[in-house]
Amino acid sequence: MNAQRKSLSGDDLFRPATLGPYTVANRIVMAPLTRNRAGPGNVPQPMNAEYYAQRASAGLIISEATQVSPQGVGYPATPGIHSAQQVAGWKLVTDAVHARGGRIFCQLWHVGRISHPSLQPDGALPVAPSAVKPEGMAFTYQGLQPFVMPRALEASELPGIVEQYRAAANSAVAAGFDGVEIHSANGYLLDQFLRDGSNHRDDAYGGPVANRVRLLLEAAEAVTGVWGADRVGVRISPVNSFNDMSDSDPQATFNHVAGALSSLGLAYLHVVEGSIEEEGYTPGAFDFRQLRERFAGSYMANGGYTAQRAKAVLESGDADFIAFGVLFLANPDLPVRLERGGPFNPVNADRFYGGDQTGYTDYPFLDPGH
């Protein structure tokens, strides 16, 4: 199915490309980055619009993970897309990005078990495919607190979860986004269903991978019903152990996931090709080419990419787009810096999560008069 793919040169990283119905300025993507700087009510605010507008030279910006519902919340001050105020807040962001000629997709997020009663409506238990408590601590407004045993979702509740994605997809249209990315990575709800370390169900949503992928496929069908498949991507992280995730056979699991998603005709498959650990990115033993072979849309690679690695992977034909996380966070004008070979700003990791403009909108541009 990939015989039609045209071969690319390394410098195509900096040239216009087709992504779904769009011609984007380059193949450099801003990876989704949670920054915990939404205002009260989990509403995006003008400071957030400035941050994203600064990064509009990306071919595509993927927004920070954005809750599809109050139940989907797992951290303080993360934005949602389920209230009218949140939609209005996001409109500030999308307008600012479009005014600079950029494109922005919304990353749709439900955290599942990676939450805490203090973050849930009415102090409820977080929900999950199965009652399996993750190791580790939840980030709450009262500081770090141990994760609690989540409540296993009833099969009868799953259509309601799918509806949360459909409603959020509709809200993303109203908020002026160019498309959406379904977050099925990094140990959040849809990933909890995919991997057998967290999914112990014995109904139609558990057991063989054809069952474990069902909720993701139903959510994707709901979202593509709103947006059309060519404006929808899905993010997966086959070997990421973050949030206490594991699978007994990641290659078989995610080969199946890639093939199943391919049949929906999605714009892209976004793959975190490693594990996000405390110290940074660690590559894992996994053959990512097998995913690309099974997925007909664009393949977006992420995880520890430099300009050199990005060019090499385009040349080898193993990816169409490269998403940059920390480098984009710290360099608002990343495409021009990658093209010129740097220099790159020092990263202020203490200001990743929460706070004000410091370590957020104050990273300098290479050309002061940008």
Q: Does 31 bind ligand FMN (CB under 6 A)?
A: yes
Q: Does 32 bind ligand FMN (CB under 6 A)?
A: yes
R_g of the chain computed on alpha carbons: 19
Closest distance of CB 296 from ligand FMN, Å: 22
Pick one of 72, 325, 332, 335: the residue that binds ligand FMN (CB under 6 A).
325
Q: Does 276 bind ligand FMN (CB under 6 A)?
A: yes
Pick one of 10, 39, 265, 304: the residue that binds ligand FMN (CB under 6 A).
304
Cβ-contact 237, 272 below 8 angstroms: yes
Start-to-end C-alpha separation, the chain: 42
Q: Does 233 bind ligand FMN (CB under 6 A)?
A: no
Pick one of 13, 25, 28, 34: the residue that binds ligand FMN (CB under 6 A).
34
106 vs 272, beta carbon nearer ligand FMN: 272
Output the CA angle 159-172-155, nearest 5 degrees: 10
Given 51, 75, 165, 188, the catalytic residue = 188
Interatomic CA distance for residues 14 and 201, integer angstroms: 45
151 vs 309, beta carbon nearer ligand FMN: 309
Q: What is the DSSP string of 193-228?
A: HHSTTT----STTSSSHHHHTHHHHHHHHHHHHHH-
| Strand extents, DSSP E, the chain | 17-19, 22-24, 28-30, 60-67, 104-109, 127-128, 137-140, 143-146, 151-152, 179-183, 232-236, 268-272, 274-277, 280-283, 298-302, 321-324
Pick one of 205, 305, 321, 360: the residue that binds ligand FMN (CB under 6 A).
305
Cβ-contact 286, 240 below 8 angstroms: no
Active site residue 205: no
For 281-318, b/e burial (b = at least 16 CB within 10 A) is beebebebebbbbbbbbbbbbbbbbebeebbebbbeee
Q: Does 286 bind ligand FMN (CB under 6 A)?
A: no
115 vs 206, beta carbon nearer ligand FMN: 115
Contact mark string toward ligand FMN, 173..212, x via CB under 6 A? ----------x-xx--------------------------
For residue 197, count other CB atoms closer than 10 A to its CB.
Answer: 16
Pick one of 235, 256, 294, 351: the residue that binds ligand FMN (CB under 6 A).
235
Which of these ranges, 67-75, 123-131, 170-178, 322-330, lies near ligand FMN under the rule CB under 6 A?
322-330
Q: Does 75 bind ligand FMN (CB under 6 A)?
A: no
Q: Does 273 bind ligand FMN (CB under 6 A)?
A: no
Q: Does 42 bind ligand FMN (CB under 6 A)?
A: no
Closest distance of CB 333 from ligand FMN, Å: 16
Cβ-count burial of 144 within 10 angstroms (0-12 exposed, 13-18 middle, 19+ buried)? exposed
Measure Cα distances from 213 to 161, 184, 189, 316 in Å: 14, 10, 12, 30
Q: Does 90 bind ligand FMN (CB under 6 A)?
A: no
Q: Does 111 bind ligand FMN (CB under 6 A)?
A: no
Positions in the binding site for ligand FMN (CB under 6 A): 31-34, 64-65, 107, 183, 185-186, 235, 272, 276, 281, 302-305, 324-327, 352
Catalytic sites, residue numbers: 188
